[in-house]
Each structure stands twice: as C-alpha cells, then as structure tokens.
Chains A and B, each alone.
Chain A
Amino acid sequence: MAAAILAASPAHTRRAWRAWVLPLGALGAAEALLRWRPVQSDAVALPSAVVQALLQALADGSLWSATWQTLAAMLGGLLAGGALGLLVGVWFGLSRRVAARGALLVELLRPLPAVALIPVAMLVFGFGYRLEIFVVGFSVFFPMLMLSHAAVQAVPARLLEVGRMLRLTMAARVRKIVLPAALPRLFVALRLCIGIALVVAVTTEIASNPQGLGYALLSAQQSLAPELMLAVLAWVGLLGWGLNAGLLALQRRWFGGLAATGAGR
C-alpha cells in the first residue's frame, strides 16, 4: 500500500513512466530467461502465458464472477464490522468512562486472528457469504474501532468547548462538530480497513470458502495450471492496488490537505 501512495503522489505522476521501468524490465527478463532455459514447473509460467491466461479468464467471465463474489463479501464485512466498529469507536472517543470500561474486553478480543475464527464460523454459518462476511467483519471491527476512537480524540478540544458554550445538544455536537472534524481520519481508517478486508476475504476463500478469487487461485493450483494461478494472483494484486488508488483519489479530492494531516498522525 505504501508503494501505491508513493507512486500516486503528484511529484511522481509527471515522470510516471520511470516507475514502470523496473517491473516491466523484470517481467521481460523473466520471459527471456524462461524461453532460453525452459523449466518444467507447477509454480512458474512464462509471463506471456500468464497474461494470456488472464485475458482468457476475463473473457470467459469466470474471473469477473469470482471478483464480484470477493468484492461482495468484502463490502458486506465492511458494512457489518466497519459500521459497528465506527459506532463503538466514536462512543469510546466521546466518553472516557465508556472507553475505560470497554478497554479490557477490546484488549482481550483484539489479538484473536480473524482467520482463526473460520472453523467456528463454519459450524455456525456453513459455507457461503455469511461465513466470509463474519470473518471479514471481525477482522475490520477492531482496527475501525481503534482508529475512529483515535480520530474522535484528535478533534481539537477548543471546538468541543465552542459546542458546549453554544449549548448544542450532545447529538448536535456529534453531528455538527465531532464527525466533520474527524472525517478525514475516518476516511483513512476506511482505506486501511478495505486493505485488511481484501486480505482476509481471499484468505477465507483459500482456507475454506469455495467461492471468490481465493478459491479460483486454489483450484488453479490444484489443477496444475500455474499460468492461471499466477494470473489470478496478479489480478488480486491489481484489485488491491486499484481500490486503494481510487480511495486515495477520493480522499485528495474531498479532504485535500486535511487528510494528509490525518494520515500523518
């Protein structure tokens, strides 16, 4: 993700082609090397064969449907876990007492790796979207909670004082002062959570859930088609890069300099 941030920053866009020299050069070198000394392998394929497999999978629609499955599970998990994490995080940020009471429970549950819940969740939900949404939701809940807690805490005390002096109600203070002031940081939190959601969704699919890009990766591996496996892998990478770049562009457009300070903290 850090590479995408660097590559998309304005100073670099003017000489964007230079950034492509290294990756394209490496691919070219791999192609040349493999043609010169062909290897029989289940893990390696010619870059040109990988590109061909990718185009083929896109053309026959199989890669698209896997992509939508993964995206739908990600989005469901983000909506469920992220929204809940946001609510609890804002609540913690507003009330020191609530944050103190909830701190231990959060510290006890947070270290649990979300993917470790797959066996349990499978018994409860069976295979399918609900399993994946639960695991993704759990994985983004805690980062969202902690980041939105911090975002609310970072709202200048002076602004909150202005709200109290004007005798705004608690709801009006949250709506008119706290949320707009925390918004740039909340958006950064969303960006991070989307990254996590993609990783966890694909992991869940590889580990157990027979759908989406993770499962496509796994079945290509098991049918000994390294060029398709690598094509799906490259596609997952492109998807992650594209999601982040898109959100970063939105962040620049909506928050400008404000978001930079939000991300810098």
Chain B
Amino acid sequence: MSAGGLLRVVAPAEAAAPLIAFDELGLDFSGRRILNRLSFSIGRGEIVSVVGPSGCGKTTLLRLVTGLVSPTRGAVRREGVAVDGPAPDVAIVFQDYANALLPWRTVAGNVSLALEAARVPAAQRGPRIAELLAKVGLAAHAEKFPRQLSGGMQQRVQIARCLAQRPAVLLMDEPFGALDAMTRQDLQDEMLRLVRETGTTVLFITHDLDEAIYLSDTVVALRANPGDASSLARTFTVRLPWPRNQLATREDPEFLRLRRQAYDYLLEAH
C-alpha cells in the first residue's frame, strides 16, 4: 500500500513487510457468503478504514482479525503467521460501550481489568491507570461508575482499557457511531493523537464516509453479497496532510474530491 504521500507531515514508520495481510479471505455463515476472496494488507502504523453497505461483512472482517472467528477460506496473517486467537496486543473498541464495560466496576476498575489480565502487579496498576485516564481526559472521574458518565466518556473508558493493553493493533468497530457530532469529532482527534503517538496500527470500521476519509491513510470499500467476486470493491488512498484538522482537512479540495468519488461509488454499488 502506498499510503505514504509527500504531503504528510507526520509519517508513520513504514515497515517493508505488511503487519496484517488478508490472503484470499472468505467466510460463509449458515450458507450465506459474507466475505469472499478478500486480499489487502495493512502496513505498520497505518490507519485503514473499512466502509460499505450494511451486511457487507465489515464487522465480520474485524472479528476475523481478533481471532474470535475463524475464516472459511484463506487466512488473516500477522507478520506472516496465521491468526488463530486473541493476542495480548490486539485491542478492540466496541460500538456498544454500555455493554462492553463492567457496570459494577468504577472507571479505574474497568481499566484495571486489562492490567489484571496482563498480570501487571497490583502495586504498578495504580500509576498506570492514572496515566491512562489522564491520556483520555478522565483523570477526575476515576472513582465514578460507567452509568454516571455520558456516552462519550464511557467510550473514553473503553479506549483507555484498550490502551492499557499497549496494543500494536487497535480494532475499532464503529466506535463513535452512537455519539453526537461534537463528541464524535473530539474523540476522532483524540484517537488520532493517541495512535500516532504510539505508532499503533488501526483498522477502523465505520458507515460514515467523511469519518473514514478524515481518519485514514487508506479507505477500503467492501461489496455486499460478493457471490463469486471479491469482497474488496475499491481502495482509496487518502493523500491528505497530517495532522488532520476538523475544519481545514474537511475543506481541502482533495478531501472533497475523495468524498465525491467514494459517494459516487457507493451509490453505484447500491
């Protein structure tokens, strides 16, 4: 993938070999073909968004990367090795934050769960939790319970728990879909800042084309009901400067051109 454009200000270090490769990936579910002959790869530190009509297998693709689901055909490879189960440094942010947080644990307790799973000694957890909560702007809410927080704040808790895993790969399944527009933009920028800081590779599922273009190095469009064709309908390389800016980037002629191209394509696909 030639995601590295000349206009990029902060370019992630790109390894020669891709970090994640989808190799002729296919999945059937109860007789229905969800994904077929899907091949593309994601470089280290790259942000790739997946868009497409509902039922095109976006979430399925994400679940295949987690290893919670196994493919019918082909493979997901990480640094050449087929994925066969959850890895400690692959984290996932779910859209339904209310179901993904433990309601009986405080904000700090929820973040602690990831550290407990990673067998971080109890004495070291406190400072790590404080640091992570500061990163997502929740330092003042450590002792609150999830139900006492707004949707955007609950989603930040989930992001902090994922960051506690020190993820090499961050999977995001429409993470901002249930949030209001302002909160969504705030979280988009925070997420970009956090993953760029650490060089985390991101696979981002969304149905919002603007969001996909704004956040990504590459936007991948999937096709619903692929039949014998490939699920991969089109790849758009986003050559917009970094860091992105909610106003300037969205007014950039290149942004508008990509947006037009992608919308035209999706309208055609329907």
The distance from the CB of B106 to the nearest CB of chain A, in whole angstroms, is: 13
Which residues of A131-166 have CB atoms within 8 Å of chain B's CB atoms?
Answer: 156, 158-159, 161-162, 164-166
Cα distance, A180 to B116, chains bound together (Å): 16
Contacting residues, chain A, for B86 (C-beta < 8 A):
164-167
**Inside 8 A of A156's CB, which chain B residues have their CB?**
99
Q: Are A180 and B102 neighbours in the complex by a CB distance under 8 Å?
A: yes
Q: Contact at B117–A172, with CB atoms within 8 Å? A: yes
**Residue contact A176 to B68, C-beta cutoff 8 Å:** no
B25 contacts partner chain A, Cβ-Cβ < 8 Å: no
Residue count of chain B within 8 Å CB distance of chain A = 21
The distance in angstroms between the C-alpha atoms of A105 and B221, with both chains bound, is 52
CB-CB nearest in chain B for A255 = B104
Closest to A158 in B: B99
Instruction: Known contacts A161-B68, A180-B102; decide if A166 and B94 are in contact (CB<8 Å).
Output: no
What are the residues of chain A within 8 A of B68 when measuring CB–CB? 161, 164-165
Chain A residues with Cβ below 8 Å from B102 are 159, 176-177, 180-181
Residue of A156, A165, A180, A258 with highest tally of chain B CB at under 10 A: A165
| Chain A min CB distance to B233 (Å) | 28
The residues of B that contact A168 with a CB separation of less than 8 Å are 113, 116-117
Name the one of B88, B90, B99 contacting A159, with C-beta atoms under 8 angstroms: B99
For residue B114, CB closer than 8 A to chain A, the reply is yes
Q: Which residues in A have their C-beta under 8 angstroms from that of B87?
A: 167
**Contact partners of B118 in chain A: CB under 8 A:** 166
A interface majority secondary structure? helix
Please report the total number of A residues contacting B with Cβ < 8 Å. 16
Which residues of B have CB within 8 Å of A181?
Answer: 102, 104
How far, in angstroms, from A61 to B114 measured CA to CA in the complex?
57
**A167 touching B117, Cβ below 8 Å:** yes
Are B103 and A167 in contact, CB atoms less than 8 angstroms apart? no
Interface residues of B in 90-133 (CB under 8 A from A): 90-92, 94, 96, 99-100, 102-104, 113-114, 116-118
Contact B94 A158 (CB under 8 A): yes
- Taken residue by residue from 46 to 85, chain B's Cβ proximity to chain A (1 for < 8 Å, 0 otherwise) reads as 0000000000000000000010100000000000000000
Q: Residues of A contacting B92 with CB < 8 Å? A: 165
Per-residue interface assignment for chain B, residues 136 to 158, with 1 indicating a CB less than 8 Å from any chain A CB and 0 otherwise: 00000000000000000000000
Q: How far is the CA of A258 from the CA of B147 in the complex (A)?
A: 12
Given contacts A176-B116, A181-B104, could you give 4 more A-B pairs where the C-beta distance is less than 8 Å? A158-B99, A166-B117, A166-B118, A181-B102
Residues of A within 8 A of B (CB): 156, 158-159, 161-162, 164-168, 172, 176-177, 180-181, 258
Question: Can you list 15 A-B contacts with CB-CB less than 8 angstroms, sorted by A residue number?
Answer: A156-B99, A158-B96, A159-B100, A161-B94, A162-B113, A164-B68, A165-B90, A165-B92, A166-B117, A168-B116, A176-B102, A176-B116, A177-B102, A181-B104, A258-B103
